[in-house]
Structure 1
């Protein structure tokens, strides 16, 4: 008898693996959603979760998103994700825990390929790589594919935001376009710098308030508290922090025409995609617009191209968004549903 195992986000995942290592204190989850197109690729994040169930849920959602993201990006890779449970907010992962996580990855025999995500870095991956070869996002020579995926993700999101501004606002230039950016880490911060050069009017928010203030001073942006950013009157809301921030309540409070950002799993539930669509707000599905990073580390792992090939593929992100928006217009279905439908067909689940 089939069961969802008590997790609503379980989606016929091929495997959900729980790991502990007493010596290092590692507690980790690796979820493999699909290997239909190739090894399940997706980064690992280090985060303080409310409980183990929240960590498993995040891994389930993120791994499914990676299946869709890799398929939509045209990569011969499936979808997986790792999460390492931090004992408290602000804790740093230890070298011993990274080594233990590397051994966990190795135990899966190449079915899962990891890379850096929230709370991880290139140096983290160097330590993981001492225990497994199934890792990407490692330091590389200039001009090569790979390395820190953050800046490449930011570039893809930037191209997608410009495409969304043209589609949703009729804007041929970002000059004067108001963009509210939630989260200014590697991706959100990179996006903000690119948009500032184009003359966009930016408002920033981040849980690390001093970081947001420093960036705002650098690029001439405004700063608001995190609890205010989604409700500002603006043209574009760009979520670039953690997921599940587009809820029934937050969508009702939006005062924008476009939502386009790099955060994974922005919609808290499937119904929230319908809510956005019902309000006439153009949505850029997250796993389409934020594919730059996985294109970068995926090509690195597969050995399929250099940095020029990475950027050529990233340049196609607006084309994929337009494909989704066009079908949404034809069918009347929400952009989120259209993107899921296309991705599901690609991985043989449509």
Structure 2
């Protein structure tokens, strides 16, 4: 099925360093494919392939909705026992990117770091988020991703409650990595009450200490009563079971591919829960990357991130006009921009 809608699916294996990786290119219609490189342990090769494919497609739609001249791709490195040193893994990936001659440009993602990107840079220029780059300085990529999600939350609050203020609103944040932490910081200073969860207790304690957040077990936060549920960890967390247990008015978070299946957007809609489509509001990182690639600065990147609020408003208005769930309205708009 992927051959019908994806341009490339590359399986990369280098037994000399223990590398197993997948590169998925969804579309280069609007420009070279952009998308981070993530590294994690998967339950199977099939799970890794599905993750790469879904993430690459999301990056295509994200670029289109952000108005940047790039397509969508993704690389995933399968973490497994016995693999070689990280430097060897990422240099091997860099050699593959060099063969692609700019058709795919990668950067940081879940489980990867600036150091990893520096190792890729030893083999190819087709990488961002390296030491000293715009995205890496002061964690600008994570900060602007969080800022865009924060603006999306305010826009959704205005839609549901008539006021775009987070003051005294309860926001449950699932996942406290770099983006989740920065989102909590924005929300705290905006006066929100925070409920948080993460599999790492150190991250939880940091947010509790700094922002007065209320900690919850990771298994419990999805059903926690709140105004806004903000998924900021892995995708695929909105499904038949989890949606039936939600006690929120809004879902707006940084995680990619939050809907397990496209029909779950309609299920949220039917329950009266406003969904801020993930690739619309979590596009701050790719906006920073585009600015970096085109010689822009942090101020330019932030100005472009601030356009997310208007784009999300357009999605809400399109959903109303067409009688669609917001997830379907966003897809319709993105596909119109892509001419598909």
Match of 2:123 in 1: 131
Q: Specify which of 54, 60, 63 is matched with residue 67 of structure 1.
A: 60
Q: Specify which of 139, 149, 158 is matched with residue 157 of structure 1.
A: 149
Unaligned 5+ segments in structure 1 are none
Is 1:327 equivalent to 2:318 in the alignment?
yes
**What is the DSSP-based 3-state SS (H/G/I as helix, E as strand, rest coil) of the residue aligned with 2:26?**
strand
**What is the DSSP-based 3-state SS (H/G/I as helix, E as strand, rest coil) of the residue aligned with 2:69?**
coil
**What is the DSSP-based 3-state SS (H/G/I as helix, E as strand, rest coil) of the residue aligned with 1:124?**
helix
Q: Tell whether the 8 Å contact from 1:146 to 1:300 is kept in structure 2 after alignment.
A: no
Q: Tell whether the 8 Å contact from 1:181 to 1:238 is kept in structure 2 after alignment.
A: yes
Which segment drifts farther, 145-154 or 100-109? 145-154
Distance in 2, matches of 1:23 and 1:145, equals: 32
Is 1:179 equivalent to 2:193 in the alignment?
no
Q: Tell whether the 8 Å contact from 1:178 to 1:201 is kept in structure 2 after alignment.
A: yes
**What is the DSSP-based 3-state SS (H/G/I as helix, E as strand, rest coil) of the residue aligned with 1:214?**
helix
Q: Specify which of 93, 107, 112 is matched with residue 120 of structure 1.
A: 112
Number of residue equivalences = 337
Q: Tell whether the 8 Å contact from 2:204 to 2:215 is kept in structure 1 after alignment.
A: yes
Alignment of 1:233-244 (within 5 A): 233-244=225-236
Match of 2:33 in 1: 40
Match of 1:201 in 2: 193
Cα drift, residue 105 of structure 1: 1.3
Measured on the aligned residues, the alpha-carbon RMSD in Å equals: 1.5
Distance in 2, matches of 1:280 and 1:93, equals: 49
Alignment of 1:210-249 (within 5 A): 210-249=202-241
After TM superposition, the score normalised by the length of structure 1 is: 0.93
Cα drift, residue 217 of structure 1: 1.5
Distance in 1, matches of 2:127 and 2:75, equals: 12
Match of 2:74 in 1: 81
Cα drift, residue 146 of structure 1: 6.0
Match of 1:267 in 2: 259
CA deviations 1:285-330 (Å, max 9, x no partner) are 0000000000101221233x21111011001001000000011111
Cα drift, residue 145 of structure 1: 6.2
Cα drift, residue 92 of structure 1: 9.8
Unaligned 5+ segments in structure 2 are none
| Structure with a larger share of its residues in helix | 2
**What is the DSSP-based 3-state SS (H/G/I as helix, E as strand, rest coil) of the residue aligned with 2:173?**
strand
Q: Specify which of 21, 24, 32 is matched with residue 28 of structure 1.
A: 21
Match of 1:285 in 2: 277
Distance in 1, matches of 2:203 and 2:150, equals: 20
Distance in 2, matches of 1:237 and 1:99, equals: 38
Distance in 2, matches of 1:210 and 1:328, equals: 40
Distance in 1, matches of 2:308 and 2:243, equals: 25
Distance in 1, matches of 2:176 and 2:284, equals: 17
Q: Specify which of 49, 57, 79 is matched with residue 50 of structure 2.
A: 57
Distance in 2, matches of 1:237 and 1:169, equals: 15
Q: Specify which of 107, 111, 114 is matched with residue 103 of structure 2.
A: 111
Distance in 1, matches of 2:115 and 2:172, equals: 31
Cα drift, residue 140 of structure 1: 3.0
Cα drift, residue 11 of structure 1: 5.6
Distance in 2, matches of 1:70 and 1:21, equals: 31
Q: Tell whether the 8 Å contact from 1:30 to 1:83 is kept in structure 2 after alignment.
A: yes
CA deviations 1:180-206 (Å, max 9, x no partner) are 000010111100011111110100001
Q: CA 1:207–1:254 in structure 2 vs 1: closer, same or farther (change >3 Å)?
A: same
